[in-house]
Each structure stands twice: as structure tokens, then as C-alpha cells.
Structure 1
Amino acid sequence: MTDDNPIKLSRRKVLGGVGAIGLASAGAGLGTTAYFNDTESFAGNSLEAGELDLFVHVDYTEDQGDYAQWSTPPGTFIDGDVVGGGDGEPLSIEVTDLKPGDSGEGEFCFSIVDNPAYLWICGGLTENAQNETTEPEEDALEELYGSTPADGQLADAMTVTLSYCTTELDEETEEETTVIGDEVVSGSLAEVMAMLAAGVPLAGDGDGEAPLADRPVFEGVDDQTDTAETCLCFEWSVPTDVGNEIQTDSVAFDLEFYAEQARHNDGTTNPCIDASYSADYVNPDGIAQPIPEGAARVDVTYGDENVVYGVTFDEPDGSQHSLADPNFANANFSLPFDVEDDGAYDFQVAWNAEGNDAFRYSGVESGPNWEKDTSAGWSALPSGFTAVKSGSQAFISVPRSQLETGGAAYGFGFNASAGGEQPSVSIPSGGPYSSNANWTSSENSQEETVQ
């Protein structure tokens, strides 16, 4: 395993049109605009555009009660192109006057012409706006936060689920039925978009537990009208118990699908991220609970509105202990940030710091001292921050504006441990903390640049 190996990946950008989700009198709309592209492939010793063409068939419906019912026309599909060629055609689905109780569902099915391929889905929030506020909304926000946050609350209020699905034909009635299979990701819209920003690999057989490397591919078809058996279904809803705090709010997001030729490829290259850092676990000699051959990785994705840090704990199958297990000793991890690039950390986001499997936040006050080490203690994540953990992975979304406080350059780091004489891992090695300035010095941070 490689220690502190920065892998700089040029993100294969596709132009991102956006829509919006509007609530109450906002009159904005929901948009899921997706641009799809294929990738280049190698043949012999020369580089040429692969004969790999991705089409995404879309079936979408929404339920807004008596206000509106809508669905995409039959046969709607998106045509992707090879990277370096033309851009795929956009699809925008818009829902206006969204209110609690509204919902929608859709299905993406894939035609990969000529060659089997690995698929990834990427995404990210492009807007989470508070917009102008109404009096009922201001009262609700005052009660919840003590003031009106700059960011909206709709992304946290909406629930989204992505699942594998298949279509079955009833031979007697000749009616098609969609059968929902294993879940891919779920949570609030903000949480799901954070996970998609870090890249989610899809399995051609719809196995939600499929390993990353050499997972089942999506088989190639002869014509764009033919689709693979496994599709991706999505459902969204605004729960009925959501209150006035989301009035006038709007969100917008992008979805992107990537297809990469399966031949001579194990499917592990993540096309959604911009940078990746990894480090091996440190197991002090003689400890009773080592985790041999363990490693941690932090992938960084720069979005228009947010920067997502995807944390992965890579531990051997059958390992007795895990740094991702909140019940293992005093397992915890943190990511500190020096957003002004001035040699001092400004804040950190931590998981399980208080032993409750939750994410917390600490700033730095004069002294300097971490707030967590003073009477202020740990606090909830500020508005605009999102953090979610699922098994051996975690996703932390930080507002891009926070990282650009001192310009494009900033420092960050990662540290996970189980406390005391237990396994630990740090990025960069020997960091990210220093005992100088009451552990607020960022002299051992990883230097980064907002992209």
C-alpha cells in the first residue's frame, strides 16, 4: 500500500445544466439535469477513441396531489459521447411549487453499444438557496437556529433513495412491472449528493454488496433501443412533517453517468474525484488489538457549491477490529482545515469524538485553543456542512466558500485512531496535528488548492 501518495486526477468534466426545486411561493423548480459521456480506451500501443456509446433511457413520474401529475414521454433517452468529443444531450426535469407530501420516482436504464463497460454515477449540489423568506419561515428558522442561515434547508429535508431495479413482463396482461432490488444509496438529498460527489460504482448484476474491483459489468448491446437488464431507480419525497423552514428554498443538482470499457480494466478508477490521498495504518509494536495491512484513503471532489471529502477505511476481510467501528476502543477520526493558509487551523469536523457515532464541529478561539478543549466544547455542524457515514466509508461536504476564505490555497488533514496504544492513521504521515500552538498549528497539514 502506498503512504501519502497524492493521485491527481483530471476530472472529465461534462457541462452541467441545472434545475431547481422550489417550495411554496418560491415558484422555482426541481431539476435533474444530466450529461453523460463515455471514455477513451487503449488499443495496442496507440490511443484512440473507443467504440463505446452510452445511452441512458429515462422514465420519470411525479405526484403533487391535485396540483400536478407528470411523466416523461415514452422513449426518452440521453445520448452520451466519447470523452474528448461532443457533449451529451441534457435532460431537465422541473417540478414547481413543491410542498410537503410531494414525491417523484424515476428509472434510468442503460444501453452501452458495442462493448461491456463499468458504470459510475456522480453528482453534486449546485445550489442550496435560502432565497427571500416569508414571515412563517423566519419564525421557524429563528426557533431552530436562532437566526436565518445563509443556506436553505430543503436539501436536508428531502429524502432520496437510489436502488437497483429490473423490469418484468406479465405474459398474460403484457404489462411491465418495475421490481425494486438492492439499495445503492439513501438519505437526505444533501447526504446522497455528498455520496455521489465522491463517486458510486454500479454493479451490472444489481448486487448491492459487489466489491469494487472486477465487479459485474453492464453488458454491451447491439442497438441503442436495447437496454441492460439492471436499471437504476430513484425516489424522492418531501416528508409531511417538514415545517415552514423550507418555504421559498430551492436546490439544484447535477447527475452524471460514466461508462468505461471493461476490457483490460478492473473498474477501480474513480472518474468522479479530483484528488486522492492514502496512508497505511500504524500499529505500535506489542499492541493487543492491531489491524494489519489496513489503510485509509481520502478522495476530494470539487463542486460548484461544495467540496466533498470521501473517507474510505480499507481493511482486510475478516479483520477482528476496525477504525470505522464506533464500538472499537475509542475509535474516532477528524479532518482539520486551515482555510486561510496561514499556518493555523480554523476548524475541524470529527466523527465519534463524543462516543455517540455522530459528527461534530470545533472552531478555534483566541489563545489559540480548539473550542472543543474549552468550555464551549464540541458543537453541531454549521449550516451548509453535511456529513454522513455508511459502514467503512464517510462523506464530509464543506461549503466551497469556506475553503476560499484566504484564496485558492488551503491546508487540510486526516487523522483516525482508537486512542492510546491502538492502531492509527494520518494524512499526511506524521500529521496533520502539531503540538505547537495548543495543537492548532497546521504546519503538518496537506497542502491543497481549490479546483
Structure 2
Amino acid sequence: MNPDTNDTIGLSRRKLLAGLGAVGVASAGAGLGTTAYFNDTETFEGNTLTAGELDLKLDYRATYAGGTGRIDEVNGWYPDFDVVEEEEGIYLIGEAPSIDEPDAWEDEVQTRDFCLPDVGLVNGDEIPVFVLEDVKSGDCGEVTISLHICDNPSWVWMNGELTENAQNGYSEPELEALEDLELSTDDPEGDGQLADAIDVTMWYDENCNNVLDVDAEEAGDSVCVQLVIDTSGSMGGSRIANTKSGAKQLAATILDANPDNQVGVTEFSSTADTPQPLTDTFSAVETAIDGLNASGGTNAQAGVDAGQAELENCPHDNRVMVVFGDGDINTDGSEAKDAGTEIFAIGVGGASFDDLSDLASDPADEHVFFANDDDAIEQLFGQVAETITAGEEIIFEGSLAGAMAVLSEGIALDGNRSVDGRQPYEGGLTQCIGFEWCLPAEVGNEVQTDSVAFDLGFYAEQFRHNDSPDVSFNGTDVDSNSTGNVSQ
């Protein structure tokens, strides 16, 4: 993994100093003799220019499904990490930051502000995730990597490189297997078969739970989605503006996914109201969302009750409530959940992750989405929209050799999958990428003694003044020719 790379939008120092020198040089009349002239001076004082920050930080959680009874063996491969057998035959082999409670990593990475210093992330460190020996058919490994942009919106690429694909000689069973498959046995020091035999899947892990979730509404199944939006006084300013944009984006995604889908809008502050009952007409939903205003207190219980009352009118079996709040969530949503409603809880600002988890449907790690920055609200709604309509999006499926071939040229990642066109990654929001490898059970002796090594990396480049970034990769080496608005 390369150290953090910051592209700099240049300013000519000579021009800058000349400009600052001209500020505040309004003429004051020069006196001759004792004559006094009318005069006046105006100044612009205390001018400062401070460069912004672009820092990409990573953390990860890696597991190895390698069979039972191997804890001592696996632990020996990781001298700097205490391997834990989380389930029978499934080992936690790496985690940053390290979390004491089981199954808490996906919650932690969504709620902590990882742009603060000294939080134990991968920040310029080149570390291996998988250091495995004695891999056999049926073994699998998975790593979920969470990305944190500090603090400017940025384009992000994933890159990688196959650095070893070794035959390591031949065992007798391997020679027989290769001959049966009519594969060459002439070069014991050449390329092996392992990189082609290993299957790899990469995906946008929307809820950071180390699992590819594909149980979204199947094509043909219709759904009703009631948006329940906090409009209390703390939601004023850019927060309500970003919420409106995100809510409209989610509504459009739901309605575009199936002509029979319906969306409604409920708002809550001190009390609750439903300005838009369930409808299949986007313009009606858009008008209702545009009419939301922030004022008053917070009564999430009233909002959830009103939202559930409207969902009772849904003509379909699938009923979903998306609750957004920035403060106290004083309900666990039990009546709505008991009635069969699936609840997604979105939080920002002062919202408590524990309260959101109590409100959301089980498992909470698949239904709670949280951001530390208001600018990330739209992407929060986008993550929920993708989860409801499409499940988690697969980036690549194929062999390890194929994955590394694609990654060697760089994969441009999309910060918001629910809108058309590639979007940058916002600061203050955790987004995760899943990477899973498996050596299929049907693979036999042809891969005996073979070994592979590979690198994974991520590259971030500023979004501002950089609408069409020109970035190329040679494995994990990055070459950016983006110039943007550079002073000459």
C-alpha cells in the first residue's frame, strides 16, 4: 500500500505576495508644507490562506475459514495479533482498530470519528492481511476495508498487483494431476496454478459487516417505503438541505426500481405529520420533501407511530420504514417491527448509535447507517437505497489472477451508487469494500505447493477543481496527470 498521496492545487507564491501587497494601499494624500488634504484609508487586514487536508485512512477486519482445531497453528502465523476462533473453524486474523467486544467492529467503524489523531488506523503502514500457510481446497478468507476521507471530498481508486505466482517445484500427486489435466510440467520454477484456481469477489459492503448481503427485494417484488424524517430545530441550515437531497434521491431510487413501489413522507418534531401518503408518483414525494422545515423539539416515537399508520395502507407485503434523526431517538419501534415492518435507522450529529440500533430491525449492523459529517447525509441515504433495492453491489467476480489484472489498472470506486455517474467520497462517512477469496473444494492436487502473493491499495485524489481526473496505475504504483485549476 502506498503512503498517502496528496495532489496539490498550486498557487504562484510570487503572484500571491504581489496581490496581498496591493491590498490596503488606498492612497493617503501627501502633504506639502502645512496644507492638509481630505483623506481616508480603508484596509483589509488579517488575510490568511490555509491549505486544506486530504488524508485517506483505512481500517480493516479479516477472517479465515480454515477448518476446526487450528487455532494454535493459525495464531503462529500472526505474531503481532491474537487470533480468535469466532465461530467453529472461522478465525479472526486481523482487526484495526482492535475491538474487545465480538461483532462490534462494524458498529465502531461507522460511529467513531477516525479523522481524529491516534485512533489506531492503517495510515501509511504497509501491512499484510493474509499470511497463510497450508491452504487447502475449501478454505476461504475475507477482509472488509473501511475508508475514511479526511476531510475534503475525494475520488477514490482501488488498486493491486499479483507479486508472486510460484510453482515451487512439483510433488508426485501434483505431477499426476497436471498430466491428467494436460497441463505443462516442464517448468518447476515457473508460474503455478493457484492464482487461477482461487475465486475472488469484491463488493461495496454497505453496512461493513464482512458479508456480501444479496437479500434485497427480488426483482418483481413490490415494496412500500415510508420516509420518517426529523424536522426538529437542530435540523436547520445545511443539515435539512442535505437531508432533503438525500431523501429525494432515495425516493427516486425506490420508485425507479419497480413501477409498483410506493413511497410516503412523515416528519416529526414535537409532534408528527404525514405530508405525503404512500404514492408511486415521484413529483408528489419531491414536493412534500421540499416543504419540510426545521423547528421545535424531537419526538421520534410520534414519527414512527405516524409512519407505521401510513404503512398499514400499503397494498404489498414488503413494508419498510427509513427513519432519519440527528438527536434523541425515544423509541425502539417495537410495535412497527412486530407488525412486520423492516426499519432502517439513519443518524447524524447528536444521534446515539445505541438508540439507532434499538430502533432498527435485526440484525442491527445491516440496518443502521451513521455519519459524522452533514455533507455525507446524501451518501447515507444512497447506501440505504442500494440496500433496499439492489443489495450490495459486486465490483468484481472471477479468479485471483483476473482480479489482480483488473486492479493493476485501478478500479475507480463510486462514492454513491444510487445516482447516475461516478461520485466522489465525502468526508465524515465510513464506506467499506469487501474482498473475499476461496479455493473451491473441487480444486485438487494441481495446486499442491503453489504459492501466491499480492498487494491491495487505495488511492484518493481531491475532487475540487478536478472533474475529470487523469490517473493511471502500474500495479500499486500511481501516476496522476490531473492538473485541474493550477496557477501558471
Q: Scaled by the length of structure 2, what TM-score is found?
A: 0.42
More RCO (CA 8 Å, sep 6+): 2
Structure with the larger helix share: 2
Structure number, greater radius of gyration: 2
